[in-house]
Structures are given as structure tokens and as C-alpha cells.
């Protein structure tokens, strides 16, 4: 079957809201229920942007009628939920991709290319830092519905980018920040250190804050020969190799959303697994859950050998 994926529809439990979105974003039409959208023959794929606790049932809804699926991160709240989603998509023969946009940002792609080209030599450290002016409400402030707090909600972006740049860690240690926002059910700040099998150290900090104008989130990748740095979402990257500083400016979508959707469409047309497959989303979720394990136990956690459904390699390490 040839897939076009050029028309855009909107679905909501609130039909009026769906119509407003369709009009605002020049959609082809709207639906007053997810079931109606999934059943419509004009719809070839579903982008699921719903609370974490309903991802599983909505992936199943899409798969049962043969629709390809782009599901927001995290793929699920638990590994059991995620594995069930992978199984139902595989049984239906449909594509399942996790909407992880950070790795599709132009700066992140250039960073990956420079690392693989050995621009900074053997990697030593990957740092990913963010404070977000955000106060969760509704399902996002429910530990049960969200699956946790800030780290599963936003910190998983940092995890996926770490896996993209440096591969799966073998050991990690997590410390929650003292609570900063009142009335939350789960953590609103986390600091995580990781170590890969090759010795690359990861440092991830993600927090929600009351500050109105915190520093922009940033990423830095350090090797034995130099350092790459960029702000998340900004169209600029710098490379300092100890002799000179080079700067790249990008014109592409800074958020990475357009190239992410293009990859989803291309994977369907080409009959291949998407870059952020369900298994890649599962691996990122596994790291997040080990972060919570470390936080709760107050000890460093050694990650088990990759399960059969994890990708065998999620990133490349620069050579000396």
C-alpha cells in the first residue's frame, strides 16, 4: 500500500475543540472521538498526544484498525505497558514511533555527526541541563497517572539525547532536589549521573522552577580534544577543539518537530523501523525507571544487560 500522509485531521473528546484546532492549523477535518478518527479510512496514522496513562489503550485502538502510530514520550509509565504496546503494534504490522524531538534538532544532529567524526576525540562527558518555568496540574500532578514527576515528564528528553550521543549507561545515581513547588505529588527536580561501558560520564539536571526567566536549557559534549555546546532549540552550535572555535548556524526547525514527523512518514513509506522505534522508547523509559529506583533507595544502580527487546546499540562513541 502507498501512504501519502499529507492531510491533517484533529481528534478530541470535545468535538468543538477539535474543530477549532482544525481551523487554526488548516486541517482537513476533525473528529469528536479518538475511535472515530481511528476508524476513518482517510486516516493512515495517528499522532497520540494524550496523558501517559492512556497511551496503551490508544495505541491498541490504532493498531487494531491498522493505523501507524506516533506516540508522545514517554512511551508508557512502566516497562510492562511499553512492551504490551510494542507487541500489539508488531502483531498488527504497523509502525510505532515515539515522538522524541530533541534528537531531531539541527544542533543535536550536527553534534552527533561531529562526535562520530572524532572532532572532540574520545568522549569524556555529556551534560544536559534544564530548569523549566512550569507548574504541573491535573494528570501531570498525579504520580499514578504521570508515572512520576519531572523526570519521566521532561527529563526523559535528556535521557534520549544521552542515549543518542553516548549510548546506554551501565550505572547511574540519582538525587532529587529539595521540593521547590508546593502541592506536588512527585519530584520537581532531579540530578542524575551516569557512566557508560566505555567510561563516558553523563550529567543530567532537570527541574521545574518558579523563576520566570531561568537560563536556556543547554547541552555540552566533552572529549579529550575539545568541547561541543548548544542551547536546546537554538539554531546555533559551537565546537572548541583547543585551537579555534567554530560556529554553526542552522535555518531548520529548532524544535526538531518537522524532521521528527518526516522521519515517521519516511519509515512508513520505506517499510523500515523508525529511528526512535518503540524499542528505543522502551530503552529510554528503562533508564528513567532506574533513576527512580536510585532516588528511592538512595544508592547507585547498575543497569542489567540489555533485554532482547532493547536496541543493541543506541549511540556511537567518538574515537581518539
275-305 pLDDT, tens per residue?
A: 999 999 999 999 999 999 999 999 999 998 7
Q: What per-residue confidence (pLDDT) applies to 152?
A: 98
Strand order in the sheet with 123-132: 245-249, 236-240, 227-231, 218-223, 123-132, 201-208, 189-196, 169-176, 301-302
CA 253/CA 249 separation, integer angstroms:
12
pLDDT over 90 at 267, yes or no: yes
Q: What per-residue confidence (pLDDT) applies to 7?
A: 81
Q: What per-residue confidence (pLDDT) applies to 5?
A: 46
pLDDT over 90 at 310, yes or no: no
Q: What per-residue confidence (pLDDT) applies to 311?
A: 58
Q: What per-residue confidence (pLDDT) applies to 307?
A: 55
The vertex-218 CA angle with 177 and 137, nearest 5°, equals: 50
Residue 110's CB is within 10 A of a number of other CB atoms, namely: 17
Judge whether 118 lies within some domain: yes
Which position has the higher pLDDT, 315 or 199? Answer: 199
- 128: domain CATH number is 3.30.360.10
- For 69, the grid coordinates are 502510530
pLDDT band of residue 4 (cuts 50, 70, 90) is very low
Q: What per-residue confidence (pLDDT) applies to 309?
A: 57
Does residue 153 sit in the same domain as residue 289?
A: yes
pLDDT band of residue 153 (cuts 50, 70, 90) is very high
Does residue 124 sit in the same domain as residue 136?
A: yes
Judge whether 273 lies within some domain: no
CB–CB of 121/224 below 8 Å? yes
CB–CB of 148/184 below 8 Å? no
CA 207/CA 150 separation, integer angstroms:
7
CA 254/CA 260 separation, integer angstroms:
11
CA dihedral 287, 190, 97, 78 (to 10 degrees): 60
Does residue 290 sit in the same domain as residue 147?
A: yes
Nearest Cα to Cα of residue 258 among 60, 31, 115, 105: 105
Does residue 127 sit in the same domain as residue 55?
A: no
Q: DSSP code of 54?
A: G
- For 168, the grid coordinates are 546506554
In the chain, the percentage of residues whose pLDDT exceeds 70 is 93
The chain-wide mean pLDDT, for the chain, equals 93
Q: What per-residue confidence (pLDDT) applies to 254?
A: 76
Can you give the residue range of the structural domain that contains 111? 102-255+279-302
Q: What per-residue confidence (pLDDT) applies to 60?
A: 98
Does residue 24 sit in the same domain as residue 172?
A: no
56-75 pLDDT, tens per residue?
A: 999 999 999 999 999 999 99
Nearest Cα to Cα of residue 118 among 214, 10, 280, 241: 241
Question: How many domains does the chain contain in total?
Answer: 2
Judge whether 74 lies within some domain: yes
173-191 pLDDT, tens per residue?
A: 999 999 999 999 999 999 9
Judge whether 268 lies within some domain: no
Beta-carbon contacts of residue 29 (< 8 Å; ≥ 6 apart): 9, 10, 22, 42
Angle of helix 278-297 versus helix 79-92 axis, rounded to 10: 170
Amino acid at each position: 500500500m502507498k501512504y501519502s500522509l499529507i492531510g491533517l485531521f484533529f481528534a478530541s473528546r470535545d468535538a468543538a475543540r477539535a474543530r477549532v484546532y482544525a481551523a487554526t492549523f488548516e486541517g482537513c477535518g476533525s473528529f469528536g472521538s479518538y475511535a472515530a478518527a481511528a476508524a476513518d479510512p482517510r486516516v493512515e496514522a495517528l499522532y497520540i498526544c494524550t496523558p501517559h496513562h492512556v497511551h496503551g489503550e490508544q495505541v491498541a485502538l490504532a493498531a487494531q484498525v491498522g493505523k501507524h502510530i506516533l506516540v508522545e514520550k514517554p512511551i508508557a509509565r512502566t516497562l510492562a505497558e511499553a512492551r504490551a504496546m510494542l507487541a500489539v503494534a508488531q502483531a498488527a504490522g504497523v509502525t510505532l514511533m515515539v515522538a522524541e524531538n530533541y534528537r531531531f534538532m539541527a544542533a543535536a544532529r550536527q553534534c552527533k555527526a561531529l562526535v562520530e567524526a572524532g572532532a572532540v576525540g574520545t568522549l569524556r562527558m555529556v551534560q544536559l541541563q534544564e530548569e523549566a518555568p512550569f507548574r504541573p496540574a491535573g494528570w501531570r500532578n498525579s504520580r499514578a497517572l504521570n508515572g512520576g514527576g519531572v523526570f519521566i515528564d521532561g527529563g526523559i528528553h535528556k535521557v534520549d539525547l544521552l542515549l543518542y550521543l553516548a549510548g546506554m549507561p551501565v550505572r547511574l545515581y540519582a538525587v532529587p532536589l529539595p521540593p521547590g513547588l508546593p502541592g506536588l505529588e512527585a519530584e520537581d527536580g532531579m540530578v542524575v549521573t551516569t557512566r557508560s561501558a566505555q567510561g563516558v560520564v553523563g550529567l543530567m539536571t532537570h527541574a521545574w522552577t518558579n523563576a520566570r526567566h531561568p537560563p536556556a536549557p543547554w547541552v555540552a559534549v566533552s572529549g579529550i580534544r575539545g568541547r561541543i555546546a548548544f542551547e536546546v532549540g537554538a539554531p546555533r552550535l559551537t565546537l572548541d577543539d583547543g585551537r579555534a572555535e567554530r560556529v554553526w548556524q542552522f535555518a531548520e526547525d529548532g524544535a526538531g518537530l518537522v524532521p521528527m514527523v518526516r522521519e515517521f512518514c519516511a519509515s512508513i513509506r520505506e517499510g523500515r523501523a523508525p529511528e526512535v522505534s518503540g524499542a528505543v522508547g522502551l530503552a529510554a523509559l528503562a533508564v528513567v525507571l532506574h533513576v527512580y529506583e536510585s532516588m528511592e533507595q538512595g544508592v547507585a544502580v547498575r543497569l542489567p544487560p540489555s533485554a532482547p527487546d532493547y536496541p543493541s546499540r543506541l549511540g556511537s562513541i567518538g574515537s581518539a
